Amino acid sequence: AQTVTQSQPEMSVQEAETVTLSCTYDTSESDYYLFWYKQPPSRQMILVIRQEAYKQQNATENRFSVNFQKAAKSFSLKISDSQLGDAAMYFCAYRSLTGANSKLTFGKGITLSVRP
Amino acid sequence: NAGVMQNPRHLVRRRGQEARLRCSPMKGHSHVYWYRQLPEEGLKFMVYLQKENIIDESGMPKERFSAEFPKEGPSILRIQQVVRGDSAAYFCASSPGTGGRYSTDTQYFGPGTRLTVL
C-alpha cells in the first residue's frame, strides 16, 4: 500500500517571500501521479499542481513549482512571492496507475500561514 | 459549467439516525469518489463509483455505510445508525474517466458536507 508523509504540521512565511512544503511517499510502483491540493478556510479542495512520475521535468503553475525527486520519493512544493491568499492547509496526494484503482492517497496536510 | 455540488453543506443528526449525503458531479463526469476527513487529518478514500457500479469500496466501513450512483440523479452516501465517531467532513470528487491510462483524470472536489452527530 502506498503512504504519503507530510512531517511538518505548520509553516509560516512572510508575504512576498518563498516557502517550500515537504512531502515524501512510499510506493513500489513506477508509474503514478502526484498532486498538491490546497484547502482554504472554506474547506474547498483546490488542485494546485500535478506531476506525472514518468516526466523528468518538474511541473510549474505560475508561482507554484515542485521539486520531484523520484529516486528519493520526495515531492516538495515551492510557493514563490507568497500572498495572503495562499494561507491554507496544503495536502500532498498520490494516485496509482495500476489497475482500475484511481483513488487518491493523501498526507495529513500542512497548515501554511502568511505574515503580512 | 457548474462544479461538483454537494448537499447539504451541514448536517446534524442524533445518534441512531440516518444520514444521507448527496453529490452531483460536474457535467460530463461519470466517475465519483467519496472521501472522509476527520479533524486535523487528511482525506481518506472511502469509495469509487461509476454510473450504476461500485468500482472500489475498500475504504468504506463494512457496516452502516453504503453508496450508490444511479443512472439518473446524484450519488448518495448513506450512513445508517450514526455514531459520534461518524462526525467528519465528507467530500465528493468527480472525474471524466475518459482519458485512458495516462490521463491525469484530475479529480475535482465539491465543497464537502460537514456531519455532526450529537
Q: Could you tell me the mean pLDDT of each successive run of 10 residues in chain A, 116 residues long?
A: 91 97 94 93 90 90 96 96 96 83 89 96
Burial class (CB in 10 A: 0-12, 13-18, 19+), A16: exposed
> Is residue B1 predicted with pLDDT exceeding 80?
no
> Which of A64-73, B26-35, B80-89, B93-102 has the weakest average pLDDT?
B93-102
- Tell me the nearest-neighbour CA distance from B65 into chain A, angstroms: 18
pLDDT score, position B104: 55
Q: Predicted confidence band at B28 (pLDDT cuts at 50, 70, 90)?
A: confident
Q: What angle do CA B103, B107, B109 make, to 5 degrees?
A: 165
pLDDT score, position B106: 81
> Is residue B100 predicted with pLDDT exceeding 60?
no
Separation between Cα atoms, residue A9 and residue B50, nearest integer Å = 35
Mean pLDDT within B19-24: 98
pLDDT score, position A44: 86
Nearest CA to A54 among A30, A90, A74? A30
State the average pLDDT for chain B.
Answer: 90
Q: Which residues of A touch B95 (CB under 8 A)?
A: 102
pLDDT score, position A36: 97
- Tell me the nearest-neighbour CA distance from A29 into chain B, angstroms: 14
pLDDT score, position A97: 78
* Amino acid of residue A2: Q
- Beta strands A110-115 and A88-96: pairing type? antiparallel
pLDDT score, position B30: 87
Give the other-Cβ count within 10 Å of B26's Cβ. 16
Nearest CA to A8 among A87, A80, A114, A92? A92
Residue B52 DSSP one-character state? T
pLDDT score, position A26: 95
B104 and A107 within 8 Å at the Cβ level: the answer is no
Q: What angle do CA B6, B97, A44 make, to 5 degrees?
A: 30
Separation between Cα atoms, residue B5 and residue A13, nearest integer Å = 33
Query: Higher model confidence: residue B35 or residue B101?
Result: B35
pLDDT score, position B99: 56
Candidate from A33, A35, A44 with C-beta closest to B111: A44
State the residue for C-alpha cell 500500500.
Answer: A1
